[in-house]
Structure 1
């Protein structure tokens, strides 16, 4: 794919402050003169939003197999990729994603403890060589993040998991961040202003 635009992703556990971070990055990019397309995963197209509902709603009479959850995530990701992300990047727009592939690796790979080889097969089949130009991972203690999430309202199916699930997810996030390029860890336990300053410092260093 001959991409002219850039792809930036915001990652983090529940309550890490992704919405505020996205607003900060979007404002920075627009001030720099870039046309910004915002996406979210799972979701971002009509079909992908339907898959999001399936993934997140509580199933009273049926256990959702971890593999099913993973496949639904990648089905939604494929729809978003083909219909939104790739066309925008080719046109020279900057794509700002609320979650992307790192989420599946952390939540389903770390939290659900699914086989890494299985996940990597899906990653390669769906994404090919597409990787974000920059991923900002907002790191927070899961216990603090979950308290913030509860204060927002009713928790979805995944948000209702045990604390140990989110601890495994965080561990996987940090492991990926430490081993791969273009991922920056932001301390999300700081004040909102400090988090914003940290994000802007990274953006200036990478893109200016």
Structure 2
């Protein structure tokens, strides 16, 4: 009696970066390229991705200044959204063999709430482990650029302003340092792309990195069933 062939596990790729780094634009293009190449692709974002997680996103980005969201509450809301996102969207897609592209994930929590807000990284990592059930991206690309350039881009897109745009430049410098420190800790998973260049150059390098990485012999997945 033959054994049933196991469904290959999907791959989980995330894009990270500070404000104005171009993540959302570049992830859309990457999804199009990979879909045209024949890969089953799911493009998603954080906070968000499911109805409940998107509702939490709205709270996070539009909270009234009359009741400021504390750093602890912000982190817990993000982790609650991530738990829903992983449970109901990301993990099922990976189990179907889908290539999941996500605009932000755990590294944003460590950079923003840890390095910039000053919350304890050990606590954040432990809480994130609970929220994700141990899910870690297989590949993370950090789009890096000077903070002043990123904030200038954000100001030019006035229709996209949110609560984070009121943060100081010092705050965003801490975020950038956080992403660079995280990438230095995990060079096997995280790679940095200079996004202070024409969009086409960034797009080409990002596509080359991701397509080349997918073509490598499959390694053991980082994510748990």
TM-score normalised according to structure 2 size: 0.88
1:108-128 Cα deviation digits (max 9, x unpaired):
011101111110111111123
Aligned partners of 2:8 and 2:20: how far apart in 1?
A: 32
2:174 is equivalent to residue 158 of structure 1:
no
Q: 1:70 pairs with 69, 75, 79, which one?
A: 75
Distance apart, 1:46 and its partner CA:
1.0
> Which structure 1 residue ranges, 5 or more long, are not aligned?
none
Let me know the Cα RMSD of the aligned residues: 1.4
SS of match in other structure, 2:64? coil
Distance apart, 1:19 and its partner CA:
2.0
Q: 1:171 pairs with 177, 182, 193, which one?
A: 177
**Aligned twin of 1:80:** 85
2:25 is equivalent to residue 20 of structure 1:
yes
Aligned partners of 2:155 and 2:82: how far apart in 1?
A: 27
Aligned partners of 1:135 and 1:107: how far apart in 2?
A: 16
1:109-160 Cα deviation digits (max 9, x unpaired):
1110111111011111112331111111100111110111111115211121
TM-score normalised according to structure 1 size: 0.95
Worse overlay, 165-174 or 190-199? 190-199
Aligned partners of 2:141 and 2:178: how far apart in 1?
A: 15
Distance 1:3 1:108, change over 3 A: farther
SS of match in other structure, 2:166? coil
2:81 is equivalent to residue 60 of structure 1:
no
Higher Rg of the two aligned structures: 2
2:97 is equivalent to residue 92 of structure 1:
yes
Distance apart, 1:100 and its partner CA:
0.6
Distance apart, 1:27 and its partner CA:
2.3
SS of match in other structure, 2:143? strand
2:170 is equivalent to residue 185 of structure 1:
no
On the 8 A contact 2:129/2:135 being kept in 1, the answer is no
Aligned partners of 1:105 and 1:31: how far apart in 2?
A: 33
Aligned partners of 2:149 and 2:8: how far apart in 1?
A: 38
1:150-204 Cα deviation digits (max 9, x unpaired):
1111521112100000000000000001111211101000111110121122123
Between the two proteins, the alignment pairs up a number of residues equal to 207
Distance apart, 1:23 and its partner CA:
2.2
**Aligned twin of 2:52:** 47
On the 8 A contact 2:63/2:69 being kept in 1, the answer is no
On the 8 A contact 1:58/1:156 being kept in 2, the answer is no
**Aligned twin of 1:129:** 134
Aligned partners of 2:40 and 2:211: how far apart in 1?
A: 18
